[in-house]
Amino acid sequence: MLFRSSLALVLGAFCLTMAFGAQAAPPKKKPKVSFAEDVLPLLQFRCGACHTGEGDGLKISGLDLSSYEGLMKGTKHGAIVVPGDVLTSNLMVLLDGKADKSIQMPHGQKKLSTCDRDLIRTWIHEGAQNN
């Protein structure tokens, strides 16, 4: 008898919930990483001293981090960002410390945090858009 009463209460609550339209909210879309608001300020703060203006990194490698166009142009040796492909984007190889120590970035400084590198990684994975 107690089982039937409990079952009736549960079913009644379920029916009321459905009758009044209480439904699960649709999943929220995760916002895209913005180049202008997220990636560029980070690159300019951590890498801009060398890779903009008269910096040695710009002179030596040709990588200009003052704009989207400069980043996407890459270095004297070619592109460093492959939109949608984090594994072949050399920017991540350099930032993750998977390159030769002499060219790991930022050169001679503390490595970017995991959070910062993941932000750039997500941006590349999302297509490396100029957004």
| Closest by Cα among 53, 64, 61, 69 to 130 | 69
In a domain, 13, yes or no: no
pLDDT digits (tens, 9 = 90+) for 70-123: 999 999 999 999 999 999 999 999 999 999 988 889 988 999 999 999 999 999
In a domain, 15, yes or no: no
| 3-class state of residue 89 by DSSP | coil
pLDDT over threshold 90, residue 50: yes
In a domain, 2, yes or no: no
pLDDT over threshold 90, residue 9: no
CB 12 within 8 A of CB 30: no
Element (H, E) at 4: helix 2-19
Q: What is the pLDDT of residue 24?
A: 55
**Domain residue limits at 110:** 35-125
- What residues contact residue 77 under an 8 Å CB cut-off, 6+ apart? 61
In a domain, 79, yes or no: yes
CB 119 within 8 A of CB 33: yes
pLDDT digits (tens, 9 = 90+) for 32-44: 999 999 999 999 9
* 101: amino acid identity, one letter: K
pLDDT over threshold 60, residue 22: no
Q: How many domains does the chain have?
A: 1
In a domain, 109, yes or no: yes
* 38: amino acid identity, one letter: D
Indicate the pLDDT class of residue 15, thresholds 50, 70 and 90: very low
Q: Where are the alpha helices (DSSP H) in the chain?
A: 2-19, 40-51, 56-61, 68-73, 90-95, 114-125
In a domain, 4, yes or no: no
